[in-house]
Structure 1
Amino acid sequence: MTIQVAKLSDPAVRAFVTAVNAHDRDAFQALLASGATMSDDGADRDLTDWTEREIFSSHGHMNVDNESKGGRALIARYRNDTWGEMRTKWSFVVEDNGRISHFETGQA
């Protein structure tokens, strides 16, 4: 069962999913803290390169099935033009100012 994006608990994570699904680079960048980092399947990745390849140029889309840890951990069906659809996990570190300083993703 999919959780509507508007019902996601954490405002920063809700904005992240909204920006990903809208392919809105500017809104996505505005969510990130200065020096933000990310990892994919446990390996640190270049955030700019990864997001361009895995989200924006490949039309990434998240359907969230479950959230935990106050909305900062998600299980989602993620799809893009490169890999198709897969079950993924996402976790977020959100700073006091509401910006995301780190996120991790990988297969669930």
Structure 2
Amino acid sequence: PGQLQVGQQLTGTVESIHDYGAFVDVGARRDGLLHISAVAKELIEDIHDYLKVRQEVQVWVTDVRDDGKFKLTMIESSPHGALEVGQKLAGTVRSVRDFGAFVDVG
């Protein structure tokens, strides 16, 4: 797809799956990292419940490094756009862990 840019939406193919995430071929020089936390809004216990090798996925570029490595997400951008510190949002608590809570704000 030429030069990758943050925010760019791409269609890719899952090439390999690991405990920490998956590598996705989007036609770039190398495969992009799709971290397990960027697969779905909810906390994922087993990535294999969400992804399979050779599965086609819709992804967005979240980071591009000078060395050609890049990160991807399957989670669409927030409908809220850019958030500001102190801004109040309505949300739904999805799960509570020892370290905090996961809240869906849209």
So what's the TM-score if we normalise by structure 2? 0.33
Question: Which structure has the bigger radius of gyration?
Answer: 2
- Give 1 or 2: higher helix fraction: 1
1 or 2 for the larger relative contact order (CA 8 Å, sep ≥6)? 1
